[in-house]
């Protein structure tokens, strides 16, 4: 491999902009490409239009641009087997892919697979049962043996929409029908998982692993609901903070011993090769961690909070990920600062919203970092083009200060119908 490494980041959201922003600081970086990227990534690398699920087109980009490292942002290409295709093709087999093969991505791609993996490897999680769509009547009968609230999930990928938390049994039965009748979520609804409701505090834990060693990234918390004080419908995430105030070293030790290490051990025992990130969605119930779900990628908007906290060279970790002893020796150094991310969204999101409004004020921001998501450039001006438009991240010694900084900074930005939550990180003291 060359001394400088060419990198392609696949995806087009704020998460991918934040990953690229961090990689762009590396002393090992050759050229940085994004497929397809967004208006923000165009300012730090080269955007190449591509369908992230079309391996033949991606392969051409990899070869033409002599890509050494391919970083996969979103889950769909992983579950569709992009890593397998890349490593089994002689023309691309030397590319290091940051993202697991399909067998590992199934930890996110099938909730029923993930739950049986957790059970097999004795990883604390909510009790559950799974049912095929044809047996939805049995699923409904099973509900009678439980008490509210009921948690009903479509097995497969459903773009964050396949989980129903129901307060009574009628709602729960309707949720089962929504998933199974007419297969609204396609293949994803061929199975359902019903599980025990866990009451606690949710956190997002990320590791980068080669299947043997791992690096623990800063712990984060995202704000999923659209409204302040966690009200209203779920979104892709309206903000994030990192680190999380109530997560102390004792809890981190429990998370490593009870969740992370048994997962790595389980992957090895089940002969699932895994190179990439694992995102553990955890519920902390009375100081005990329970695993709600795995994701085979980084989180959005948690990544926009986490990347600015990393002092180490992220690309150096990627370059050496397959070399166990070298990877093991590399340290992940984290800044002792508090990071806070506020999402600016299009009014109406997560339901209907309008796009195409000009974004102003991005040239005078000072001490905050802006990551782009639903933004489009036209004739040197920027316009809204999605539900979540921008992510504003600030760093400071205390959450009080990062809160001040983020909200002072974002008030300089404007676009029609701009919406954001005023309480991101307000209680992170």
Which listed residue (130, 195, 300, 313) binds ligand GLY by CB under 6 A?
300
Length of the chain: 429
Tell me which residue of 393, 391, 398, 397 sits closest to 428, measured CA to CA: 398
Query: Which helix (H) or strand (E) is 77 found in, with range?
Result: helix 75-79
Binding to ligand AMP (CB under 6 A): which residues in 107-136?
126
Which listed residue (84, 130, 155, 302) binds ligand GLY by CB under 6 A?
302
Q: Answer yes or no whether residue 295 interacts with ligand GLY by CB under 6 A.
A: yes
Q: Between residues 41 and 242, which has the closer beta carbon with respect to ligand AMP?
A: 242
Q: Of ligand GLY, ligand AMP, none, which one sits near residue 237, judging by CB under 5 to 8 A according to partner kind?
A: ligand GLY
Residue range at the interface with ligand AMP (CB under 6 A); choices 138-146, 160-168, 250-258, 365-373: 160-168
Q: Of ligand GLY, ligand AMP, none, which one sits near residue 315, judging by CB under 5 to 8 A according to partner kind?
A: none
Binding to ligand GLY (CB under 6 A): which residues in 205-244?
222, 237
CA distance 411 to 124: 43
Q: Answer yes or no whether residue 75 interacts with ligand AMP by CB under 6 A.
A: no
Mark residues 283-322: x for contact with ligand AMP by CB under 6 A, - for none.
---------xx-----------------------------
Q: Between residues 165 and 216, which has the closer beta carbon with respect to ligand AMP?
A: 165
Cis peptide before 106 (omega within 30 of 0): no
* Burial classification of residue 46, based on how many CB atoms lie within 10 Å of its CB (0-12 exposed, 13-18 middle, 19 or more buried): middle
Q: Answer yes or no whether residue 108 interacts with ligand GLY by CB under 6 A.
A: no
Asked if residues 315 and 26 have their Cβ atoms less than 8 Å apart, the reply is yes
Q: How far is the CB of 309 from ligand GLY (least distance, A)?
A: 16
Q: Between residues 162 and 211, which has the closer beta carbon with respect to ligand AMP?
A: 162
Q: Of ligand AMP, ligand GLY, none, which one sits near residue 108, judging by CB under 5 to 8 A according to partner kind?
A: none
Beta bridge partners of 291: 125, 282
Q: How far is the CB of 341 from ligand GLY (least distance, A)?
A: 11
Q: Of ligand AMP, ligand GLY, none, which one sits near residue 195, judging by CB under 5 to 8 A according to partner kind?
A: ligand AMP
CA distance readout (Å), 3 to 21, 23, 28, 129, 324 = 20, 15, 7, 51, 20
Q: Of ligand AMP, ligand GLY, none, which one sits near residue 292, judging by CB under 5 to 8 A according to partner kind?
A: ligand AMP
Tell me which residue of 394, 397, 375 sits closest to 386, measured CA to CA: 375
Residue matched to tokens 């697991």? 100
Q: Which positions ≥6 away from 398 have C-beta within 8 Å?
A: 338
Q: Between residues 126 and 344, which has the closer beta carbon with respect to ligand AMP?
A: 126
In this structure, the strands spanning 221-222 and 338-346 are unpaired
DSSP for 136-186, please give it: HHHHHHHHTTS-SSEEEEESS--TT--EEEESSHHHHHHHHHHHHGGGTTG
Q: Of ligand GLY, ligand AMP, none, which one sits near residue 299, judging by CB under 5 to 8 A according to partner kind?
A: ligand GLY
Binders of ligand GLY: how many residues, by CB under 6 A?
A: 6
Q: Of ligand AMP, ligand GLY, none, which one sits near residue 197, judging by CB under 5 to 8 A according to partner kind?
A: ligand AMP
When CB distances to ligand GLY are compared, the closest residue is 299
Structure tokens at 154: 């479509």
Q: Answer yes or no whether residue 50 interacts with ligand AMP by CB under 6 A.
A: no
Tell me which residue of 218, 212, 206 sits closest to 321, measured CA to CA: 212
Structure tokens at 252: 């981190």
Q: Between residues 139 and 163, which has the closer beta carbon with respect to ligand GLY?
A: 163
CA distance 392 to 421: 12
Binding to ligand AMP (CB under 6 A): which residues in 197-226?
197-198, 202
Q: Answer yes or no whether residue 16 interacts with ligand GLY by CB under 6 A.
A: no
Per DSSP, 217 falls in state: P
Q: How far is the CB of 302 from ligand AMP (least distance, A)?
A: 12
CA distance readout (Å), 233 to 161, 238, 350 = 11, 11, 8
212-236 as b/e: b if 16+ CB within 10 A? ebbbbbbbbbbbebbeeeeeeeebb
Q: Of ligand GLY, ligand AMP, none, which one sits near residue 130, judging by CB under 5 to 8 A according to partner kind?
A: none
Q: Is the dihedral of CA 277, 273, 155, 53 positive or negative?
A: positive
Q: Of ligand GLY, ligand AMP, none, which one sits near residue 218, judging by CB under 5 to 8 A according to partner kind?
A: none
Tell me which residues touch ligand AMP (CB under 6 A): 126, 151, 160, 163, 165, 195, 197-198, 202, 281, 292-293
């Amino acid at each position: 491999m060359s001394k400088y490494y060419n990198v392609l980041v696949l995806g087009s959201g704020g998460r991918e902009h934040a990953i690229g922003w961090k990689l762009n600081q590396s002393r090992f970086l050759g050229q940085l490409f994004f497929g397809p990227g967004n208006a923000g990534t165009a300012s730090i690398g080269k955007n190449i239009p591509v369908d992230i699920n079309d391996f033949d087109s991606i392969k051409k980009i990899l070869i033409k641009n002599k890509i050494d490292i391919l970083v996969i942002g979103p889950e769909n290409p992983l579950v569709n087997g992009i890593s397998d295709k890349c490593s089994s093709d002689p023309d691309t087999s030397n590319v290091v892919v940051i993202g697991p093969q399909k067998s590992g991505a199934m930890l996110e791609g099938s909730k029923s697979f993930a739950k049986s993996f957790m059970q097999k490897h004795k990883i604390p999680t909510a009790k559950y049962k799974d049912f095929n769509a044809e047996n939805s009547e049995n699923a409904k009968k099973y509900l009678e043996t439980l008490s509210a609230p009921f948690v009903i999930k479509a097995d497969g990928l459903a773009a964050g929409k396949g989980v129903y938390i129901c307060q009574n049994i009628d709602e729960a039965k309707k949720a089962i029908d929504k998933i199974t009748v007419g297969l609204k979520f396609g293949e994803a609804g061929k199975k359902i998982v019903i599980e025990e409701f866990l009451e606690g505090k949710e956190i997002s834990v990320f590791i980068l692993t080669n299947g043997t060693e791992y690096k623990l990234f800063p712990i984060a918390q995202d704000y999923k609901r659209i409204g302040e004080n966690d009200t209203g419908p779920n979104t892709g995430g309206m903000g994030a903070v990192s680190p999380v105030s109530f997560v102390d070293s004792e809890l981190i030790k429990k998370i490593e011993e009870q969740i992370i290490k048994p997962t790595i051990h389980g992957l090895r025992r089940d002969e699932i090769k895994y190179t990439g990130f694992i995102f553990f969605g955890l519920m902390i119930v009375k100081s005990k961690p329970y695993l709600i779900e795995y994701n085979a990628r980084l989180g959005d908007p948690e990544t926009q909070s986490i990347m600015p906290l990393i002092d180490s060279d992220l690309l150096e970790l990627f370059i050496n990920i397959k070399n166990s002893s070298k990877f093991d020796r590399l340290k992940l150094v984290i800044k002792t600062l508090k990071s806070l991310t506020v999402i600016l969204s299009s009014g109406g999101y997560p339901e209907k919203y309008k796009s195409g409004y000009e974004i102003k004020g991005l040239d005078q921001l000072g001490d905050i970092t802006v990551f782009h998501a639903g933004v489009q450039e036209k004739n040197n001006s920027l316009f809204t083009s999605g539900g979540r438009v921008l992510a504003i991240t600030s760093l400071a010694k205390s959450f009080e200060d990062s809160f001040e900084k983020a909200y002072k900074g974002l008030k300089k930005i404007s676009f029609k119908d701009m919406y954001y939550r005023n309480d991101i990180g307000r209680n992170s003291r």
